[in-house]
Structure 1
């Protein structure tokens, strides 16, 4: 039927399509692996969830934790590569750089385990904390900035709006940590004692991982359509990406 765009076999098997789907699947596997560790902890006691997720890297389940985070890094980079390769963003845009910074931060989290307080502070723990903060801050910025130019687009507007919403939700989920850091600066109360840090972190991480998955679904959709014309570029119209 004229005017109706359908996937042909070549498009379905295209490298971009495979890469986008692989990225989205990697994100889901991360949730399964790390979520599975939490379920094991819950079967014992919910009190264990007061500890941070990266606590798993200090015990016998480190390989599960590391595998999950590495999958999230690789999935995020695959999703970003598709969005850039298909013209949704540019490599040098702030949104793409922030998405890459999210992956860098997660890589630091894996390479440098958190402090084992039974031993004491360490350089590894300091780098781990920096990597966590880099990832937590970068993802909301990335999701919102990648989405913003496309929120009114006829073809990608729905995907962009969902990505923007989850980016904003991730930023909101980060505010308790900011409050705790402010309390630490003003009163001297250790910021990790202001809230049950493990619970707050899990809400934040889940929100951000879902945001990455939403962007991954967008990348899957983009990979099966003609290369879009970015807003503001010659040839763009609100319906141009749906042709």
Structure 2
């Protein structure tokens, strides 16, 4: 279900990039949430909610297969990611040309929390497993995608932090739309990677103990 949610999200949000005129929503300068301000709001909302549901399914799978514990920082951060996506849908992006709103600020900061919580949680999961003989490969892929996510996010945070010095609004200091799309694509890939890890663990746990390699018996 996790992979299905991620796939549905990619298809729906990807569709918006095809059917919406780039002159209306510039993919280099405008954020993905701009699509929620027009007639295609339902498609945008459905895509984000599909990713949220898929992420919950992945989290449940990771807990059930003991990749992580339910009462752990990584589990909390992955849950925060899913909840933040729902908040992003519940409080739509503000049309800032009209003026700010409480809902718009909630949307903005929920987006930031979502984009931060997933890669940080994934890094914590990967760190626990990176030296594991059987699951180190999954941990390394998880680590790489999480690190790339933070690389995409870094210029946005830098633009925000440097605004008092430069006087340039952070959303103009960087190609915000391009960076956000790269970040979103990487984080969807990260959800898929975590889902594949959980699925592989589930398949491994179905194998009778007597048929597993000795290293798996010692370290599973």
- The normalised TM-score by structure 2 is 0.90
Counterpart contact for 2:61–2:195, Cα < 8 Å: no
The structure-2 alpha-carbon separation of the partners of 1:47 and 1:135, relative to structure 1 and needing over 3 Å to count, comes to closer
The alpha carbon displacement at 1:45 in A equals 4.6
1:162-214 CA-to-partner distances (Å, cap 9, x unmatched) read 01110111111111111111221322321101012111111111111111111
The alpha carbon displacement at 1:241 in A equals 6.8
Distance in 2 separating the partners of 1:177 and 1:224: 39
Superposition misfits of 4+ residues, deviation over 6 angstroms: none
Distance in 1 separating the partners of 2:44 and 2:138: 30
Q: Which runs of 5+ in 2 are unaligned?
A: 207-213
- The normalised TM-score by structure 1 is 0.82
The structure-2 alpha-carbon separation of the partners of 1:100 and 1:241, relative to structure 1 and needing over 3 Å to count, comes to farther
Counterpart contact for 1:153–1:238, Cα < 8 Å: no
Aligned length: 212
Counterpart contact for 1:70–1:110, Cα < 8 Å: yes
1:25-60 CA-to-partner distances (Å, cap 9, x unmatched) read 110110111011112236x55972121100111111
Match of 1:8 in 2: none
Which of residues 131, 141, 164 is equivalent to 1:152? 131
Match of 1:92 in 2: 71
1:111-133 CA-to-partner distances (Å, cap 9, x unmatched) read 00011124311010010011001
The alpha carbon displacement at 1:154 in A equals 2.3
The structure-2 alpha-carbon separation of the partners of 1:41 and 1:75, relative to structure 1 and needing over 3 Å to count, comes to same
Distance in 2 separating the partners of 1:185 and 1:102: 29
Counterpart contact for 1:23–1:76, Cα < 8 Å: yes
The structure-2 alpha-carbon separation of the partners of 1:58 and 1:77, relative to structure 1 and needing over 3 Å to count, comes to same
Distance in 2 separating the partners of 1:153 and 1:94: 20
The structure-2 alpha-carbon separation of the partners of 1:241 and 1:38, relative to structure 1 and needing over 3 Å to count, comes to farther
Match of 1:10 in 2: none
Match of 2:210 in 1: none
Match of 2:211 in 1: none
Q: Which runs of 5+ in 1 are unaligned?
A: 1-21, 228-236
In the alignment, does 2:69 pair up with 1:102? no
Distance in 2 separating the partners of 1:133 and 1:143: 16
Match of 2:26 in 1: 48
The alpha carbon displacement at 1:110 in A equals 0.4
